[in-house]
Structure 1
Amino acid sequence: MLNRLTEIMARLRDPENGCPWDVAQNFSTIAPYTIEEAYEVADAIERDDMAALKDELGDLQLQVVFHARMAEERGAFALPDVIRSICDKMERRHPHVFGDGTNPGWESIKAQERADREPDPSALAGVASALPALLRAEKLQKRAARTGFDWPDATGARAKVVEEIDEVDTAASEAERIEEIGDLLFAVVNWARHLGIDPEAALRQANAKFERRFRAMEASAGNGFAALPLDEKESLWQQAKRG
């Protein structure tokens, strides 16, 4: 089936007889779709919707094939090279399963791989700048923590959150407020990390809760919700929270 998908993509990318939209794409234009499909996979998992997960995994697989096809057209690599590379990596990172039985640890092996290929000696090297900001903040903090640059417990991280709130309050300009809000968000991610909480998952849960309660308010008010005074909206909000 993977060969069939590869052949379909080759036909879609054919300059003469392919699909004009597919032919016009490049790595940069397809990258946002790749990210979107990964999130849709995560959404299907969160909803425990196996039918949707099957479809979304297919869409995500298409993205891999699409990028590989464009790379092949450029003479860089092809889909078999992608699969070979990940197979080699998985075997290399699991020596306790595929090798001599030793287990130096996943992160230790990854660190050595980075050292072998990265000219940048920083502990932060390789944290992709295109990651969602919340996830990238957590990864940067984890990398820094491995060097010993970290609060000893959650108390210091919490105090930093309070400090950053004060700095937002005292910011003298819009530019300063933007900077301090960024620092506050970074500090909240750090506090969550110290509490053993995935900040991305926590925020997704908060988003879902807000949406559920807001929709309940709209349903209670009917079509006139937007016109209600704020105190009545607050009353509906409290009702939705109890529901």
Structure 2
Amino acid sequence: MQENLSDFYNLVNIIAKLRAPDGCPWDREQTHSSIKQYLIEEAYEVIQTIDENKVDKLCEELGDLLLQILLHTEMAKEAGEFDIGDVIRRISEKMIRRHPHVFGDAKADSPDEVVANWDEIKKQENNGETSLLNSVPKNIPALAYSYAIQNRAARTGFDWKNFDGILDKVMEEIGELKDAKTQPEKVHEFGDLMFVLTNVARWLNIDPEMALKQANGRFFNRFSYMEKVCQQKSVLMNELTFDQQNQLWEEAKKKEQEGKI
């Protein structure tokens, strides 16, 4: 443990050196705003390595993410706002406070009870803020936001009684999208359909973001196969008829199922 702490604070000191007057010109001029996109990028790279089950790469990507956290912390320290000790102390206190069934006398015998306790404690921390939805960051991707707010609403009992009810709602929204005349109406109805489909994913315990990423990956692989075949035959994709393109698509699906692409 002591060796790990030494490594950690060595990294903290490296970042402080980079930000010092005699440090790196690029690092010195960065601000919270100028590097915030890297925080998002590194988080997504961590997610990608998890999705691809690249355990050896995960260690490196977690380090890159930690670097971003420590950079923001060093900037705050320079401004006299807080330091890494404050960050660690606050999250430690929060974890103890929100797990009274582990560190206190509260009872929570199921994951649902843990979540209920968590929400109640969080409400108290926010001075009695009543809306569960306010805890969801509004600038996260829309699909993740939709999933999160519907999941929180369901905790209060505001949810469909059965899965068939959601499927009926999907068909209703498809009908309304078909009937939409103006572009604003189409945007409105398409948004409603996406919202309901996200709820379908929640009921099936599916991460909609992950499901869409996998679908994107399948499309990419199949279309790339089609392009490769066209290249081998010295023809352009747009020279094929739709039926020919569809035949190639089905061929790509078969190759995919056989594990050949």
TM value normalised by structure 2? 0.85
1:190 corresponds to which of 199, 208, 213: 199
Q: C-alpha separation between the residues in 1 aligned to 2:81 and 2:235?
A: 58
Shift of 1:69: 1.1
Moved more, 83-92 or 129-138: 83-92
2:224 corresponds to which of 209, 215, 224: 215
Q: Is the alpha carbon distance of 1:90 and 1:232 closer, same or farther for their aligned partners in structure 2, counting shifts above 3 Å?
A: same
What is the total number of aligned residue pairs between the two structures? 242
2:31 is the counterpart of 1:26: yes
Moved more, 173-182 or 217-226: 217-226
Shift of 1:151: 0.8
Find the residue that maps to 2:205 and give its secondary structure: coil
Q: Which residue pairs with 1:109 in the alignment?
A: 117
RMSD (Å) for aligned C-alpha atoms: 2.0
Q: Which residue pairs with 1:8 in the alignment?
A: 14
Q: C-alpha separation between the residues in 1 aligned to 2:195 and 2:154?
A: 14
Q: Which runs of 5+ in 1 are unaligned?
A: none
Which amino acid is the alignment partner of residue 251 of structure 2? Answer: Q
* Counterpart contact for 2:170–2:196, Cα < 8 Å: yes
Q: C-alpha separation between the residues in 1 aligned to 2:17 and 2:235?
A: 52
Q: C-alpha separation between the residues in 1 aligned to 2:199 and 2:152?
A: 12
2:176 is the counterpart of 1:167: yes
Residue identity over aligned pairs, in percent, reads 43
Find the residue that maps to 2:81 and give its secondary structure: coil
Q: Which residue pairs with 2:156 in the alignment?
A: 147
Q: C-alpha separation between the residues in 2 aligned to 1:215 and 1:108?
A: 47
* Counterpart contact for 2:32–2:72, Cα < 8 Å: yes
Which amino acid is the alignment partner of residue 210 of structure 1? Answer: F
Find the residue that maps to 1:124 and give its secondary structure: helix
Q: Which residue pairs with 1:87 in the alignment?
A: 92
Q: Is the alpha carbon distance of 1:96 and 1:111 closer, same or farther for their aligned partners in structure 2, counting shifts above 3 Å?
A: closer
Shift of 1:227: 3.5
Q: Which runs of 5+ in 2 are unaligned?
A: 1-6, 256-261
Shift of 1:100: 3.4
Moved more, 163-172 or 215-224: 215-224
TM value normalised by structure 1? 0.91
Q: Is the alpha carbon distance of 1:10 and 1:176 closer, same or farther for their aligned partners in structure 2, counting shifts above 3 Å?
A: same
Which amino acid is the alignment partner of residue 191 of structure 1? Answer: V
Q: Which residue pairs with 1:202 in the alignment?
A: 211
Q: C-alpha separation between the residues in 2 aligned to 1:59 and 1:115?
A: 33
Q: Which residue pairs with 1:137 in the alignment?
A: 146
| 1:35-91 deviations in Å (ceiling 9; x for gaps) | 111111111111111221111011011111011112212222111111122222223
Shift of 1:225: 4.1
Find the residue that maps to 1:125 and give its secondary structure: helix
Q: Which residue pairs with 1:238 in the alignment?
A: 250
Moved more, 197-206 or 60-69: 197-206
Q: C-alpha separation between the residues in 2 aligned to 1:90 and 1:114?
A: 11
Q: C-alpha separation between the residues in 2 aligned to 1:32 and 1:121?
A: 31
Shift of 1:95: 3.3
